[in-house]
Amino acid sequence: MDLFQKCYDYTVPDDYKAKGLYHYFHALESRQDTEVIMEGKRRIMLGSNNYLGLTVHPEVIEAGVKAYEQYGSGCSGSRFLNGTLKLHLELERELAEFLHKDGIVTFSTGFQTNLGIISALVGHGDYMICDAENHASIYDGCKLSYGRMLTYKHADMEMLEAQLSKIGDKGGKLIITDGVFSMGGDIAKLPEICALAEKYDARVMVDDSHALGVIGEGGRGTASYFGLEDKVDIIMGTFSKSLASLGGFMAASERVVNFVMHNSRPYIFSASMPPANCAAALTALRIIKREPERVKRLSDLSAYARAGFKKLGIHIIEAETPIIPVYTYEIENTFQKALELYDAGVYVNPVIPPATQPGNCLLRTSYMATLTYELIDEALDIFDKVFNKK
């Protein structure tokens, strides 16, 4: 059988294109901002993870330009060899201070970070216990390890305890959860998770990709939000969202970080984060520390949008974060509504299986601290016309 036969038989995108319902790979012609130009037309951006709006901040842009001038365009090697810059060490020191951890290691992408952490720490005879709605990179990190992955239904603490009880004392145990879940926008039940970890002698890893800069004191994330920084063993995060760049990090104790740095194949055998990305993330971090009010404004704007949807009678998932998913239920309706919104001037992200359960498709809307109430009102008016057919 031809290896490529599966490619020739795969017609799903073509089928939706033929129906005029395909909604992916729209090309941006402007910066990632609250308003963008996509395919020649202005759109209100309600589909970005640029939560604090820092991708267009003049200081962030200037830092990237200066890094290009000082260090060139890339490192041409791994951190292990010739790819460590003073910038990397500076970023790691300031992140450690911000997150109240004594060890930080940075990776080239957020996806790679989860691969690198999990595959290094979890070995033969060990177990990973994962929330069913964890990010795909966590699932792939578990596959890359030599341990056994168990899952529990989303936010089901009884099932988590049952899985931990079943393992007993057979091996090391790592509970892995998103802090803020990327599709639903809800926050992990971290107090219960940490209590169970203590009861069953397990470690806790939180993926804070969508929590850093969003919740917690000054945007410090999920552990800070619950006052559990001393109970969470590993905090993973990305620079591609609130920190307006590209890359990722692991925050943990110095000894754990040291082990990962010397045993993680995705870390050892990948080129390091480019200078401009590193400088942009470092500058964004400094802005967050200097301007914690951005986090409060993001929360206020998100609450305003959430109230607006409810006033319009549009069914959303309730949460306390800048991720507000709107139910569209079936795939074709999801694509249809996304395209109608797009044509009317609002960009959102359609979410279909396997990212959701069948029959529970969503339009994922997300918000930035740099939005205005006027722009949100304009977007809500467009939602009203599309969903309520006015």
Token representation of residue 113: 């970070």
**Torsion from C-alpha of 164, 169, 172, 173, nearest 10 degrees:** 10
**Residue 315: active-site member:** no
241 catalytic? Reply is yes
Q: How many CA atoms within 13 Å lie on the side-chain side of 229?
A: 15
Non-local (6+) Cβ contacts of 350 within 8 A are 23, 328, 334, 335, 337, 338, 361, 362, 363, 364
**What are the backbone angles phi and psi of residue 378, rounded to the nearest 5°?**
-60, -45
Q: Residues 135, 173, 210, 337: which is the catalytic one? A: 210
| Short-list 386, 387, 337, CA closest to 361 | 337
**Lateral strand order in the sheet of 361-366:** 323-329, 361-366, 349-351
Q: Whose structure tokens read 């929330």?
A: 131
For residue 381, the tally of other CB atoms under 10 A from its CB is 15
Sign of CA dihedral 377, 380, 385, 386: positive
- Cβ-in-10-Å burial (0-12, 13-18, 19+) of 56 comes to middle
Contact 280, 64 (CB under 8 A): yes
Partnered with residue 349 across adjacent β-strands are 364
Active-site choice (182, 224, 245, 264):
182
Tokens of 105: 């290691």
> What's the DSSP call for residue 358?
T
Comparing C-alpha atoms, which of 241, 211, 248, 247 is closest to residue 229?
Answer: 211
Catalytic residue among 241, 242, 245, 264: 241
Count CA atoms closer than 13 A to 161's CA, side-chain side. Answer: 10
**Alpha carbons 128 and 107: distance in angstroms, whole number:** 21
d(CA 217, CA 339): 38
Mind telling me the catalytic residues?
182, 210, 241
